[in-house]
């Protein structure tokens, strides 16, 4: 049969990138080889143990299992290699982004290729007079206050409906983007703060925007909205639950037709 020439299917070292190959036999045993070739009536393989080419009759080899399992092993190896490449690229991208973020604590807005500091917004805690009055007469009523911005016209303005922010702070507890609630022409509510009578526990309530959050370093985050934001007033806020220590960085999403600065 050798006179018909050698029509071979070759599974080479190059195919498996230098890895070993499992050659399965019909009796259930396995040969670990570095390369093999299927000839007409036999299988030629390179033995790792003896460092030489050897042959075995084709009828003793479970060729289907050999080819299938080695394809699966190669596919798994390729998938791991792809994951490694993606992870390396991700680490490189994070390092590149970190170089863009100033070393000083603050919230920074990405404006095309520039990273611009967002001024921390002054806020005022305003007691609800009615709840104070009711609590004084009927102690079961909740004590309610609002954390407010009284000069919203001074906030950062952008037409970007999915603004991206870098946040570098030494202590970060709860970090989010919230939509402000308009109280009157110049005043906006950031949070409602509620405290039960005879209770030290404080509950903060806010209109939270769903965001993506990526940690670039132990004290550096990148955040941006999942969905485009409607025109209006918003803020990046950071606080510890129940501590009344909210820090605020307000911004405004402008209409695309609004050409004012």
Could you report the per-residue pLDDT of 36-70, keeping only the tens digit for each? Answer: 999 889 999 998 888 889 999 999 999 899 889 88
Decide which of 16 and 261 is more confident. 261
- Distance, in Å, from the CA atom of 130 to the CA atom of 125, rounded to the nearest integer, reads 15
pLDDT band of 140, cuts 50, 70, 90: very low
Percentage above 70 pLDDT, the chain = 79
Q: Tell me what the pLDDT averaged over the chain comes to.
A: 82
Query: Which pLDDT belongs to residue 79?
Result: 87
The two three-digit tokens of residue 72, written as one number:
């699966």
Confidence (pLDDT) at 220: 93
10 Å CB burial of residue 176 (0-12, 13-18, 19+) is: middle
Q: Using one digit for the tens of pLDDT, what is the confidence trace for 213-252?
A: 999 989 999 999 999 999 999 999 999 988 889 999 999 9
**Poorest-pLDDT segment among 10-14, 64-68, 176-180:** 10-14
Average pLDDT over residues 135-157: 72
The reported pLDDT for the residue numbered 194 is 85
The single-letter DSSP state of residue 100 is H
How confident is the model over 156-164, as a mean pLDDT? Answer: 93
State the Cα–Cα distance between residues 249 and 84, nearest whole angstrom. 37
Q: What is the pLDDT of residues 69-104, one digit of tens each?
A: 888 888 888 888 888 777 776 666 666 688 889 999
pLDDT of residue 90: 62
More confident residue, 254 or 90: 254
Q: Which candidate, 150, 142, 152, 156, places its Cα nearest to that of 125? A: 150
Using the CB atoms, write b or e for 79-114: b if 16+ within 10 Å: eeeeeeeeeeeeeeebeebeeebeeeebbbbbeeee
d(CA 42, CA 53): 13
Contacts of 83 (CB under 8 A, 6+ apart): none
Distances, alpha carbon 224 to alpha carbons 117, 124, 156, 221, in Å: 16, 26, 16, 10
Domain boundary assignment for the chain = 2-73, 102-253
- Encode burial over 25-48: b for 16+ CB neighbours within 10 A, e otherwise: eeeeeebebbbbbbbeebbbbbee
Please provide the distance, in angstroms rounded to a whole number, between the alpha carbons at the two ends of the chain: 86
Question: Which of the four pLDDT bands, split at 50, 70 and 90, describes residue 8?
Answer: very low
Q: Tokens 């109280």 label which residue? A: 183
Per-residue confidence (pLDDT) for residue 180, from 0 to 100: 95
More confident residue, 190 or 69: 190
| The pLDDT value given to residue 10 | 41
């Amino acid at each position: 049969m050798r006179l018909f020439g050698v029509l071979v299917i070759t599974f080479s070292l190059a195919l498996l990138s230098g890895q070993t190959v499992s050659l399965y036999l019909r009796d259930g045993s396995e040969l670990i080889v570095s390369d093999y070739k299927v000839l007409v009536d036999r299988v030629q393989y390179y033995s790792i143990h003896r460092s030489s080419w050897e042959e075995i009759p084709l009828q003793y080899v479970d060729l289907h299992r050999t080819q299938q399992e080695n394809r699966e092993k190669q596919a798994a190896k390729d998938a791991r290699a792809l994951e490694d490449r993606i992870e390396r690229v991700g680490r490189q991208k994070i390092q590149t982004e970190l170089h863009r973020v100033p070393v000083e604590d603050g919230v920074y807005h990405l404006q095309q290729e520039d990273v611009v500091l967002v001024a921390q917004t002054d806020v005022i805690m305003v007691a609800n007079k009615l709840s104070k009055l009711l609590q004084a007469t009927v102690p079961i009523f909740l004590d309610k206050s609002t954390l407010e911005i009284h000069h919203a016209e001074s906030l950062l303005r952008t037409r970007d409906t999915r603004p991206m922010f870098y946040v570098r702070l030494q202590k970060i507890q709860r970090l989010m983007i919230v939509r402000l609630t308009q109280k009157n022409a110049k005043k906006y509510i950031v949070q409602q703060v509620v405290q039960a009578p005879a209770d030290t526990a404080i509950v903060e309530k806010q209109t939270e925007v769903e965001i993506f959050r990526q940690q670039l370093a132990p004290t550096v985050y990148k955040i941006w909205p999942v969905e485009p934001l409607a025109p209006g007033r918003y803020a990046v806020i950071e606080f510890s639950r129940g501590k009344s220590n909210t820090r605020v960085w307000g911004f405004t999403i402008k209409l695309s037709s609004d050409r004012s600065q």
